[in-house]
């Protein structure tokens, strides 16, 4: 093992940097992969029915269905022109 490190120390600075970054990338990908596997196990272990019950999602769905539907008022061209004129007057007058 010491012989391996001595060989690396004898290489040029550019080669040592390249080796360093290759190792950083390799370990980064490995840790990311392990993290993804752990997250996948956590998601699979969750009891989806229990989550829905814990957060009262069925009650929330009912409340969302009962919300009134909002509709925007319809503005004809004449009213739109009046609004534009009022806005222009407000921007011109201090």
Report pLDDT digits (tens) over 40-75. 888 877 766 666 666 677 777 788 888 888 888 888
Enclosing domain of residue 16: 2-67
Any domain includes 62: yes
In a domain, 93, yes or no: no
- Half-sphere exposure at residue 53, Cβ-oriented, CA atoms within 13 angstroms: 5
Would 30 be classed as within a structural domain? yes
Number of structural domains (the chain) is: 1
Question: For the whole model, what pTM was predicted?
Answer: 0.46
- 94: helix, strand or coil: coil
| b/e burial code for range 48-76 (CB count within 10 A of at least 16 → b) | eeeeeeeeeeeeeeeeeeeeeeeeeeeee
> For 29-39, what is each residue's pLDDT tens digit?
999 999 999 99
The reply to whether 74 falls in a domain is no
């Amino acid at each position: 093992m010491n012989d391996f490190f001595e060989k690396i120390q004898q290489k040029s600075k550019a080669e040592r940097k390249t080796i360093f970054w290759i190792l950083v990338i390799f370990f980064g990908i490995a840790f990311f992969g392990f993290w993804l596997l752990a997250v996948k196990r956590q998601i699979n272990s969750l009891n989806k029915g229990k989550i829905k019950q814990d957060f009262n999602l069925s009650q929330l769905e009912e409340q969302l269905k009962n919300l009134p539907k909002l509709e925007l008022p319809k503005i004809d061209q004449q009213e739109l022109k009046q609004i534009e004129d009022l806005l222009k007057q407000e921007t011109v007058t201090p």
